[in-house]
């Protein structure tokens, strides 16, 4: 079970980090607008600033160590995904809601498994 959670965590973390890279390269992908405004650029950069490093750390760290500190890093990733769920619900974005909910569930399960 733990091995499956570790690999699911790696996948959701990689997807999160990749989403951050996409936000940097193509900020219009998130807003679906033809003309990217300054606010959209700011949002995309803010998203990337947390998604890329946190995705890398949350994906790799559980393979290198276990214990309460690693669990808290994973729980923090879960809180971030829950915030993304709230944002997605306010935007009525079903894909983002489902993806962030799944990622949060994986992070929560893994956090309890490795603590």
pLDDT by residue (tens digit) across 43-93?
Answer: 889 999 999 999 999 999 999 998 999 999 999 999 999 999 999 999 898
pTM greater than 0.75 (yes/no)? yes
Cα 85 to its chain centre, rounded Å, is: 10
pLDDT-wise least confident of 15-19, 25-29, 34-38, 87-91:
34-38
The structural domains of the chain, with segments of one domain joined by +, span 2-114
Instruction: Give the residue-averaged pLDDT of 10-36.
Output: 88
Higher pLDDT, 56 or 34: 56
Please list, residue by residue across 73-106, b when 16 or more beta carbons sit within 10 angstroms of its beta carbon and e when fewer do: bbbebbebbbebbeebeeeebeebbebbbebbeb
């Amino acid at each position: 079970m733990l091995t499956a959670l570790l690999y699911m965590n790696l996948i959701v973390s990689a997807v999160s980090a990749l989403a951050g890279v996409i936000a940097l390269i193509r900020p219009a992908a998130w807003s679906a607008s033809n003309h990217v405004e300054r606010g959209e650029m700011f949002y995309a950069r803010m998203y990337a600033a947390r998604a890329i490093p946190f995705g890398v750390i949350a994906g790799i760290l559980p393979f290198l160590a276990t214990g309460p500190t690693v669990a808290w890093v994973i729980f923090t990733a879960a809180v971030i995904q829950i915030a993304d769920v709230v944002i997605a619900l306010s935007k009525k974005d079903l894909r983002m809601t489902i993806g962030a909910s799944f990622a949060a569930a994986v992070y929560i399960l893994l956090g309890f498994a490795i603590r």
